[in-house]
Amino acid sequence: MTIRIALVAHDAKKDALVEWVVRNAPRLADMEIVATGTTGARIGAALPQLHVKALKSGPLGGDQQIGALIAEDQLDALVFFVDPLSPMPHDVDVKALTRLAIVYDLPLACSISTADAVLEYISR
C-alpha cells in the first residue's frame, strides 16, 4: 500500500518545508505527495524524482482540495507548516484543514519536530 502525505506551507514557512523534504527525501521517495500549488511546485523543482501532485494554491481552493482528500480518507498524514507570526488572510481555510485532520484522526504536523515524528509513525 502506498502512503499518501499532504504537504502545505505558508509563504514564510515554504523554505523550511522544502528543507524538511530534502532532508527526508529517501523516506518520502516511495510515498505519494500532494501539496498546495506553490508548495508543490517548490518541492517538485527541488526534488523532481519525488511523486508530487501540486493542487491549486491554498487560497484558490488547494486547502479545500486537501480537506476533501482528508474527508474521503485518501491521506495518511498532513504536514502543515503554519507561520504563527504572520497575518493569515485565509485563516478560515487553515482552521478548516486542522479541524478536519482532528475530526478524522489524521496525523497532523505543524512543525519540524512533529513532522519528523509523524513521518516516523506513518513509515512503520
CATH of the domain at 118: 3.40.50.1380
Q: Average pLDDT of 64-90?
A: 90
Quote the crossing angle between the two packed helices 37-46 and 14-23, to the nearest 10°.
Answer: 40
Q: Are 104 and 63 in contact (CB under 8 A)?
A: no
Nearest to 99 by CA among 63, 123, 74: 63
Whole-number pLDDT of residue 88 = 65
State pLDDT tens for residues 49-66.
999 999 999 888 999 999
Q: Which set of grid coordinates corresponds to residue 94?
A: 487553515
* Residue numbers annotated as active site: 63
State pLDDT tens for residues 11-51.
889 999 999 999 999 999 999 999 999 999 999 999 999 99
What is the total count of domains within the chain? 1
Q: Are 40 and 53 in contact (CB under 8 A)?
A: yes
pTM for the predicted model, two decimal places: 0.94
In angstroms, the CA 49 to CA 120 distance is: 21
The whole domain housing 40 covers 4-122
Q: Are 27 and 37 in contact (CB under 8 A)?
A: no
